[in-house]
Structure 1
Amino acid sequence: MQQNKSITRQKIIVLITALIALILPLVLIEMQVFRLTDGKLIYPLDDTYIHMVIAKNLALHNNWGISPEAFQSASSSILYTVLLSALFKLFSVNTLIPFIVNLVAAVILIFIIQRRLQKEDVGFIWQLLVLLLVIFFTPLPILIISGMEHTIQCLFSFLFIFNFSEWTKTRERSIPKSLFIYGMIICSIRYEGLFIIAIACCALLYYRKIIPAFLLGFVSILPLVIFGFISLLKDSYFLPNSVLLKASPVELSHSGFSGYLSNILIEKLTLAKTGITALATQRLLLILPCAYLLFWKQLKNKPDYSLIILFITICTVLQLAFAKTGWFYRYEAYLVMCTVVIVSVLVVKYIKQIRWRENKVLLPVFAFIFFFLFFPLILRSAAAYSKAAQACTNIYEQQYQMGNFIKKFYNTDTIAVNDIGAVSFFNQSTIVDLWGLANMDVAKAKKDGYDTPEFLNEIVQKNKVEFAIVYDSWFDDALLHKWKKVATWQIENNVICGDATVSFYAIKPESDETLIKNLTTYQSLLPTDITVKYYNE
């Protein structure tokens, strides 16, 4: 009895210590953010506000879009948006809700990983170390601060991959009901969940479980299929615009296909031109096979461990080849988290079984390789923590101020923008999305290659846009010269926004003086770090 109490006490101490390590960075970062944003809770991504505005309109107006009336498939996370909508309806629309949802999901993830470690007979000190590594490398505090769906993605990706792999070794015929639920969630929370389900279905086919394979695939993709058909009925694409517009098109020719394949094999899987996140994700393709080779003797008796390694490795290849990494360290987070857990379990359980004394060179070589492989992951996490507060400040100084300006002077007018999140969430104006996430005409034009300056100007004129707020670097000068530039706002130390400078253009010739007057009036409300420039000629 006394021993059981001691074990329970140690479990609680490990869990509480891990939760402190999770919450402490949150408190420190948010304290800095509040100091820089006049006490406001600001997320470091405009995408968070896209989820929130769609959720708000779904809760208040029963419409899926950034406006109360028109259907706009601008969110790539169906379940997360529905979840926010339900919470908005239950508790009222509040910007704190995404933060709370992510915090709760992170706490549950920590608890579930600890239970998994206990099941694997990992000691309490090692449990704490693994949990700290998960918190740092994922990095969980940054996912919480981002207010996006990726914490939930990490939670259910872990549940599916580890429980599915464990179930396969039982040789039971029927799939546990929980796996069907996890499958639906990981697909509807992020479309990358399709990678995980595809791998699982292939594994089932390999084990000659044909009916379970098709049943798991069908149930998992059902929410996406239902949403896709609803989108088609609403004159939208089967897939969300945000998914389609980010995908690389394939030219239907021999040269086009070979070029696409070359881009995957060379640019995406071996080079890292897009930064530290791509390099860190590519390193998973070395870390996982190395872990397997190092412990291959022990893994002979642990087929579930081998399947987990294979699962994450193939999923990493698919993520690099067909999806993205980065954009504030979130797209690859679920892969990093799962890798940290399985590699840590292998090291903790089996590292002592390797005969280091027989070859004295082996240990320093192993240490060097270990450091070489994990160093980009360390840099990735360090960059995430160091940039978090500044990213929130960037959004406050740019997107939030744009939305606040529109709310103050143009709350019922029609405005054209290229970043739709905060500007649509914080006011009631009609937003014309020139980038296409929430505008089918622009999305079709970009997809089919006729998004010319003339076409975009026609869209603006047809919608009777009052003025436009855009990044000059995102658009052709031929389009911008059709409008009258009246002002720019430039932020300092930009780490997250598409451009440090946003430009204000009067679309209607008679509206430029009013726009300048309103901008001049609002200037006193801007943070002092913003550089304002007017164009009166």
Structure 2
Amino acid sequence: MDSTTLTSLPAQTWLSDRGITCVLFFAPLLVLMLSVAALNGGEFFYTLDDPYIHLTLARQIFNGHYGINPTEFSAPSSSILWPFILAPFGFLGTAMYKVPLVLNLIFSFFTFRLLLQMLQGVSVWPKILILVGWLLATNFYGLIFNGMEHCLQVFLTIAIAKAVVDKEFRGYPVTSLVYGAIVLLPLVRYEGLAISMPVLLYLLIKGDAIRAQVCGAVIVLLVTGFSLFLDHIGMGWLPSSVIAKSDTSGIKSIVLNAISQFEKYGWVIVLMLVMCGFFIQRRALVMLLVSVTALHVLLGKYGWYGRYEIYWLSFLGVFFLHWALTSLKPGSVALIFGLLPLAFAPLVYATFSTPLAARAIHNQQYALAMIASELDQPVAVNDLGLVALNSQRYVLDLWGLGSLEALKLRKSQSGPEWIQTLMDKKNVHYAFVYDDWFTQHPTNWIKVADLQLTVPKIAAALDTVAFYATDSESAHRLRMTMKAYQAAHPEAKFNVAYQAE
């Protein structure tokens, strides 16, 4: 998306960048991959359960259906585009499970090349320090292993921001590829609207009115078209996952969200405003930076194992990097970026805990999936991904990402009666849930056991999953299935506490 190509770089720069790429891109990823495999018996697992939801949906799309269960529609993905990107790989069978990893490696490599392009002319050691600071502070490596669409989101975001910098400060034209990225970004994740729409307004102000308006119209048509599709299949206007994780229904919730954002990243917002002071004569650019930040602060999120805020931090980071390189000495810039990981410690933690997070998913969610598979009966869960991906039976998502009906009931009902009603309706006799998420249980639930991790839970919501059945016969069957699985996997990093029969 930049006119500069690898072959046009001076030979020495290419050699230096090639070495930097080996040391800072390939080597850390190799270490993380080997660590994940070593902690999981040679197998690969993502650091979250969520990517397995996308894989399940993508597999259903490949088979001509939109939903988790083949018997009903659902909208569990926060991304419009990501499941459709994965769907064509459905012919690979279980090898499809590695496709998100491969795609994330590709998108992250492109991102790394963009960062190198922005650092052209910077000597090797300052360049290395700047890159190390950026990569750690934005959870660059960790995003690859969560198996989600965030690597593509960050790549498109940085490409767009770099194009704006090139236009604003160097007079370069914005290419059609960049306009394509602007259109794609909201389809990758809805919060991309917080970047694409302000950028299009910026480009309109800068005189590219026709392309900006056309792209804006295309975005509106595509996003609206997907909402119409969801409404047509009875899922409402937004994916269940967006509704479940968002609370922007009123002014109060938006204000509370903004306060939370200020508490977490107020210093970044202040830094952005200070940077705008240096760009005060560039009113369109200031408008862009302020509006992107305002939209993220009011409607966006942070956290969830270092994912939600990365696009916004990366967008601002491109402009801050340009300002720093043009206003400060390279050594000072290197020092600032070298210290950035200290300011973003939770994101650095997400990177370094990646192998441990994968181990937790293996020993909790994958164990649930295998028990459900051996049980070979419909089950109710509150974490959907791996169980649904490996089950040939109906999976009821009590949290609601995979069931709009369950989501509406959970948000509107105070007691547990809705759970029993829904399980009876779906003929489900088993539930694997976090007790802390469902403090009130249906009266017919019989507790069979607790499965507790003996390793840190990292990104798993809780370390203990409770197993329930709705009748004594089902309880006995579940107990026998769990004992058989436990006996077959003595290496598993969990303990099971069974209830007395």
**What is the TM-score of this pair, normalised by structure 2?**
0.89
> Does 1:326 pair with 2:303?
yes
Distance apart, 1:116 and its partner CA: 3.6
Distance in 2 (CA, whole Å) between partners of 1:19 and 1:315 is 34
- Partner of residue 504 from structure 1, selected from 459, 467, 470: 467
Distance apart, 1:466 and its partner CA: 2.4
> Does 1:157 pair with 2:157?
yes
**Which residue of 2 is the match for residue 482 of structure 1?**
444
Distance in 2 (CA, whole Å) between partners of 1:175 and 1:480 is 59
**Which residue of 2 is the match for residue 424 of structure 1?**
388
- Conserved in 2, the CA contact under 8 Å of 1:99 and 1:144? yes
- Conserved in 2, the CA contact under 8 Å of 1:187 and 1:194? yes
Distance apart, 1:335 and its partner CA: 2.4
Distance in 2 (CA, whole Å) between partners of 1:220 and 1:171 is 26
Aligned-partner residue type, residue 292 of structure 2: C
Instruction: Report Cα offsets for 1:10-33 as digits up to 9, x if no partner.
Output: 223213313431222222222222
**Which residue of 1 is the match for residue 352 of structure 2?**
386
Farther-moved stretch of structure 1 (40-49 vs 75-84): 75-84
**Which residue of 2 is the match for residue 274 of structure 1?**
none
Aligned-partner residue type, residue 522 of structure 1: Y
**Which residue of 2 is the match for residue 236 of structure 1?**
235
**Which residue of 2 is the match for residue 88 of structure 1?**
90
CA shift in 2, pair 1:348/1:206, >3 Å: closer
Distance in 2 (CA, whole Å) between partners of 1:384 and 1:471 is 23
What is the RMSD of the two structures over their aligned residues, measured on CA atoms?
3.2
**Which residue of 2 is the match for residue 377 of structure 1?**
343
- Partner of residue 261 from structure 2, selected from 246, 249, 269: 269
Distance in 2 (CA, whole Å) between partners of 1:245 and 1:78 is 16
Instruction: Report Cα offsets for 1:280-338 as digits up to 9, x if no partner.
Output: x4332123233444xx2xx578x4xx866754553233223212111111111122333
- Conserved in 2, the CA contact under 8 Å of 1:156 and 1:186? yes
- Conserved in 2, the CA contact under 8 Å of 1:180 and 1:220? no
Distance in 2 (CA, whole Å) between partners of 1:6 and 1:312 is 31
Distance apart, 1:211 and its partner CA: 5.4
Distance in 2 (CA, whole Å) between partners of 1:380 and 1:195 is 24
Distance apart, 1:53 and its partner CA: 0.9
**Which residue of 2 is the match for residue 31 of structure 1?**
34
Aligned-partner residue type, residue 362 of structure 2: Y
Aligned-partner residue type, residue 379 of structure 1: A
Distance apart, 1:93 and its partner CA: 4.1
Distance in 2 (CA, whole Å) between partners of 1:462 and 1:339 is 49
> Does 1:40 pair with 2:48?
no
**Which residue of 2 is the match for residue 531 of structure 1?**
495
Farther-moved stretch of structure 1 (520-529 vs 101-110): 520-529
CA shift in 2, pair 1:111/1:434, >3 Å: same
Farther-moved stretch of structure 1 (390-399 vs 68-77): 68-77
**What is the TM-score of this pair, normalised by structure 1?**
0.83
Distance in 2 (CA, whole Å) between partners of 1:160 and 1:371 is 21
Aligned-partner residue type, residue 260 of structure 1: S
Distance in 2 (CA, whole Å) between partners of 1:342 and 1:211 is 26
Distance in 2 (CA, whole Å) between partners of 1:62 and 1:5 is 45
CA shift in 2, pair 1:392/1:223, >3 Å: same
> Does 1:286 pair with 2:270?
yes
Aligned-partner residue type, residue 286 of structure 1: V
Distance in 1 (CA, whole Å) between partners of 2:468 and 2:110 is 47
2:97 match: secondary structure: coil
5 Å-filtered alignment, 1:66-77, equals 66-77=68-79
> Does 1:97 pair with 2:99?
yes
5 Å-filtered alignment, 1:77-156, equals 77-89=79-91, 93-118=95-120, 121-123=121-123, 125-156=125-156
Distance in 2 (CA, whole Å) between partners of 1:348 and 1:40 is 43
CA shift in 2, pair 1:6/1:495, >3 Å: closer
Aligned residues with identical type, % of pairs: 25
Distance in 1 (CA, whole Å) between partners of 2:88 and 2:248 is 35
Aligned-partner residue type, residue 43 of structure 1: Y
Gap runs ≥5 in structure 2: 1-6
Distance apart, 1:158 and its partner CA: 1.3
Distance in 2 (CA, whole Å) between partners of 1:85 and 1:367 is 42
- Conserved in 1, the CA contact under 8 Å of 2:75 and 2:240? yes
**Which residue of 1 is the match for residue 19 of structure 2?**
16
**Which residue of 2 is the match for residue 185 of structure 1?**
184
Distance in 2 (CA, whole Å) between partners of 1:408 and 1:184 is 44
- Flag the structure with larger Rg: 1
Distance apart, 1:518 and its partner CA: 1.5
**Which residue of 2 is the match for residue 216 of structure 1?**
215
Gap runs ≥5 in structure 1: 252-256, 272-278, 354-362
- Partner of residue 55 from structure 2, selected from 46, 52, 62: 52
- Conserved in 2, the CA contact under 8 Å of 1:137 and 1:337? no
Distance in 2 (CA, whole Å) between partners of 1:16 and 1:338 is 26
> Does 1:399 pair with 2:365?
yes
- Partner of residue 318 from structure 2, selected from 309, 334, 341: 341
Distance in 1 (CA, whole Å) between partners of 2:338 and 2:355 is 29
- Partner of residue 453 from structure 1, selected from 404, 416, 422: 416
